[in-house]
Amino acid sequence: MNEPRTVDFFFDVGSPYSYLAATQLDGLTARTGAAVRWRPFLLGGVFKATGNEMPARVPAKARYMVADLERWASHYDQPFRFPTRFPLNTLRPQRALTAVAMADEGAVRAFALALFRGYWVDDRDISADDEIRSIAHGCDLDGDHVVAATGDPAVKDRLRAETDDAVARGAFGAPTFFLGATMYWGNDRLLLLEQDLAS
Amino acid sequence: MNEPRTVDFFFDVGSPYSYLAATQLDGLTARTGAAVRWRPFLLGGVFKATGNEMPARVPAKARYMVADLERWASHYDQPFRFPTRFPLNTLRPQRALTAVAMADEGAVRAFALALFRGYWVDDRDISADDEIRSIAHGCDLDGDHVVAATGDPAVKDRLRAETDDAVARGAFGAPTFFLGATMYWGNDRLLLLEQDLAS
């Protein structure tokens, strides 16, 4: 195949494994030539639709997860600090990302990486309008406009539709990748995704 | 470090990711020089103790799991066929493995691999005494003795104690590896375990 292939990357900035995966996507595109569509969805909506639950519901799993996340961050040589507010209601940042995606899909990547970093490295409360505005501004976006757009019914509808689309294709968690009809769940499946892109 | 390091491998033959991981351990020991202790435990007991549940409880996750398992099997170049009986009550084969471990720890690996293959490749009902006897016999073990030992109170106690030990160290699923106090959950964490063994 010589045509560039496109990977759908469904993510929620409240998901730590989404953060870890997001840090690896520039490398993935550089090595494989694939394009990545950054598609914000609402993980809470996915859990509700599928009957899945956050892994941290099981105390032993939550304890392991913190160690596992630190290990992956070190493996990737990426900064990571478990935030003081967790879990976070990510409805507002996910709507802000959706608003940006509707205006200019190419602008989502930088804004998402900045939100991820705000939450998973700098311990900022990215559910707050002030933080969303400031992070948007740092990405050369109109922060006031982005925050205002989170109240736009078309933005709310789009975020719901993206979430529904992911669920209809089989998603039950985050991050979730699709290459055509093939689904890859989790940061740890990037390995298999990259193999499939190389084949 | 020049001393050979020992990895504890807690597994249940009813767990497909335990099967996949088990196929990789000869390679791991060859590449790292580490020793592996094959420690049968009871995954149902782990779930009960931790409040965790089998991933197949969520229908979307169950569907994904089948595809994911086939992908890993292909990645490892190992045979795999999802069994017609799933989940299976593995109390009897796990007790049989425990009996073998108590008599000769070095004999567990071959017997476990044969049970895994019986269930995850050849679709045999490895919860049945006849199958356990026949598979034990194929491993040059005394099949009648192994089956009889599954009723031995000391064997039952030992399996419970192994399960309790894993839970006390943080386990909530299978397979679970320990290198010293560090826990690795899942076939997909073999990568990080091997890195730690090499460092």
Residue of chain A whose alpha carbon sits nearest to that of B169: A60
At A146 the pLDDT is 98
At A4 the pLDDT is 67
- pLDDT greater than 70 at residue B193: yes
Spell out which residues of chain A touch residue B189, defining contact as CB-CB under 8 Å. Answer: 68, 188
Task: Identify residues of A whose CB sits under 8 angstroms from chain B CBs.
Answer: 50-52, 57-61, 63-64, 67-68, 71-72, 75, 167, 170-173, 182-183, 185, 188-189, 191-192, 195
Of B51, B61, B192, the CB nearest to A58: B51
At B4 the pLDDT is 67
Close Cβ partners of A102 (under 8 Å, ≥ 6 residues apart): A154, A155, A158
At B78 the pLDDT is 98
Q: Cβ contact (<8 Å) for A64 and B172? A: yes
What's the average model confidence in pLDDT over B158-176?
Answer: 98
Residue type for position A124: R
Residue B134 is a catalytic residue: no
Residue of chain A whose alpha carbon sits nearest to that of B176: A64
Q: Cβ contact (<8 Å) for A59 and B50? A: yes
Q: Cβ contact (<8 Å) for B183 and A60? A: no
- The proportion of chain B whose per-residue pLDDT surpasses 70, expressed as a percent, equals 98
At A199 the pLDDT is 83
Average pLDDT along chain A: 96
Could you write out the DSSP letters of every residue in chain B?
Answer: --SPPEEEEEE-TT-HHHHHHHTTHHHHHHHH--EEEEEE--HHHHHHHHT---GGGSHHHHHHHHHHHHHHHHHHT------SS-S---HHHHHHHHHHHHH-GGGHHHHHHHHHHHHHTT---TTSHHHHHHHHHHTTS-HHHHHHHTT-HHHHHHHHHHHHHHHHTT--SSSEEEETTEEEESGGGHHHHHHHHH-
Of B60, B68, B183, the CB nearest to A64: B183
Spell out which residues of chain A touch residue B164, defining contact as CB-CB under 8 Å. Answer: none
Spell out which residues of chain B touch residue A75, defining contact as CB-CB under 8 Å. Answer: 192, 195
pLDDT per position as a tens digit, A114-140: 999 999 999 999 999 999 999 999 999
List phi, psi (to 5°) of A122.
Answer: -100, 5
Q: Cα separation of B13 and B8, whole Å? A: 16
Q: Cβ contact (<8 Å) for A58 and B64? A: no
Could you write out the DSSP letters of every residue in A42-74?
Answer: -HHHHHHHHT---GGGSHHHHHHHHHHHHHHHH
Model pTM score: 0.93
CA distance B32 to chain A (A): 18
- pLDDT greater than 90 at residue B54: no
Q: pLDDT category, A57, cuts 50, 70, 90?
A: confident
Average pLDDT along chain B: 96
What's the average model confidence in pLDDT over B2-8?
Answer: 81
ipTM of this complex prediction, to 2 decimal places:
0.90
Spell out which residues of chain B touch residue A71, defining contact as CB-CB under 8 Å. Answer: 192
Q: pLDDT category, B47, cuts 50, 70, 90?
A: very high
What's the average model confidence in pLDDT over B6-13?
Answer: 98
pLDDT per position as a tens digit, B97-108: 999 999 999 999
At A156 the pLDDT is 98
pLDDT per position as a tens digit, B87-142: 999 999 999 999 999 999 999 999 999 999 999 999 999 999 999 999 999 999 99
What's the average model confidence in pLDDT over B143-156?
Answer: 98
Of B170, B173, B192, the CB nearest to A63: B170
pLDDT per position as a tens digit, A62-108: 999 999 999 999 999 999 999 999 999 999 999 999 999 999 999 99
At A155 the pLDDT is 98
